[in-house]
Structures are given as C-alpha cells and as structure tokens.
Amino acid sequence: MWTVRKKAELDMAATLQQLKAIGVVAVEAVNGMNGLPSKEMRLLFEGAGLSLCSAHARLPESGSRDDMERLCADVAELGAPALVVSSLREEHFADDASVARAADKLNAAVVVAERSGLELGYHNHWWEFGNQVGGQSAYEAFVERLDPAVVLEVDTYWAQVGGADAPALVASLGERVRYLHVKDGPVDRGSPQCAVGRGRMDIAAVLDANAAVRWHIIELDEFDGEIFDAVRDSFDYLTQLGR
C-alpha cells in the first residue's frame, strides 16, 4: 500500500479495486493510512476482495507497553497477521551499544505482539548496512541480538544500496526471512525506482535465494510515471517468473 499511497489519498476504495483488477490478491497495509480507523480500513480491504499479508507501523515513540498494546490491537483489528516495524532511526545502527539498544526495543515489542496474536517483523533500509560492528554490518549484528521470534522483512533494494549483496543476504538469514520487498531501479539512494525487472537488480537471484520466504511484496518508494502501470508491469514480470 505504500507504493500506491498517493492514489489512496485521493480514493482508497478505487485504489484497492484497481489493485484487484491487476491481479493482486493480498497487500501489505500501512497502519493508520489516510487517518482511517482500522475497522473502516478492514471493511475496505474485504470489500475489494484483498487479504493482508502484514501491516507496517512504527514502534510507539513512548516505548510504553500500553502504547504497544494499543498499536497491536489496531493492527489486529485491521486484519493483518503480522506487524512489521517499518524502520528504526539511523542512529540506532551507529555502534555496538546502539545496535544492542535497538535489538532490545524489538525484543520487548515481540512479547507484546505475540500476546496479541501477531507476528513481529523488522524492515530494513540502507543505513543498517553502513557501519561495521564487530567485523560485520550493523544489520547482521542487530539480527544476531534479536529474539528468534522476530522475523525479517528484507527490503532487497535498500540492502543492495547499503552495500550488501541482496541474494547472498537473503540466503544467509535462513528461515527468519518471511517477507521480501521486491523493487528495482538504478540502485542508488536518490533516483526514482522502476518497474520490477527493468532495473539493475538481479530479481531472479533474489527470489531464488531463500525458500523460507512467504511473500514477495512489490514496492516502489518513488516512481516517475503512472504508478498503476509500474505495479501492473511488476506483477506481470513476477508472474512470468512463476512468482
């Protein structure tokens, strides 16, 4: 849903119907999107015949258990089986101490999520790979400190931009990887992305890297052109690959 956020701001129901017409059967929601209550959003998804694979949200800034419980209740009411933390700030990956604190945040959150019947995951950007901690990337050090119950949503494009080899990274993380953000483009931080299969990413290698992955999620953060065309072209490309 992040990919089509600008369309959804204008007409959420029509956006969902357009995704369904392309052939999409499930989406990753963004909690609180358009300021709509979770119950209302759930009815819109159901009305369009779309299920949810997960929902993105940020951890509560307060760090309180009560606020985390409220967030989990919202995501559960939305109908998503998993809450994927959309990011932690770049400073959380500066050194060993900050990485440890970041992992502690997720480890506390997963306890609350599980009690709410939700899986908890983490989604990366590029900055988790920019610093070395103990001879490995800050991301790898972070993952080692996470409770095994925390699953991973690997944004393969941003990992590649950050300096990782995306297929090798996805393979190395084993059964912890449940979701992939599949995007394509020139593999830099500033340029708009393109339809999957038309950029520099080795998409086939990424998708073949790990059999534990449940969902391949098309995502474009920025695109110059009609976004539904990019979604359709990406969907068709992945379908041709048998994905």
Q: Which residue has the tokens 């990406």?
A: 234
C-alpha closest to that of 120 among 142, 150, 146: 150
Tell me the CATH number at 170.
3.20.20.150
Q: At what angle do helices 227-240 and 12-22 cross, to 10 degrees?
A: 30
How much is the pLDDT for 243? 82
Helices marked H in 59-212 — which ranges? 65-78, 96-115, 138-145, 156-161, 166-172, 203-208
Sheet holding 119-123, edge to edge: 26-30, 51-57, 82-85, 119-123, 151-155, 177-182, 215-218
Q: Per-residue pLDDT tens for 56-71?
A: 999 999 989 999 999 9
Cα dihedral: 240, 185, 141, 56 (round 10): -70
The number of C-alpha atoms within 13 Å of 43 and in the hemisphere containing its C-beta is: 4
Average pLDDT over residues 65-82: 97
Is the model's pLDDT at 85 over the cut of 90?
yes
- Residues of the chain with pLDDT > 90, as a percent, come to 98
Number of structural domains the chain divides into? 1
Report pLDDT digits (tens) over 158-203. Answer: 999 999 999 999 999 999 999 999 999 999 999 999 999 999 999 9
Handedness of CA 142, 219, 183, 177 (dihedral sign): positive
Q: How many CB atoms lie within 10 A of CB 147?
A: 15
pTM: 0.97
pLDDT at 135 over 90: yes
State residue 93 phi and psi, 5-degree precision.
-125, 30
Range of the domain at 68: 5-240
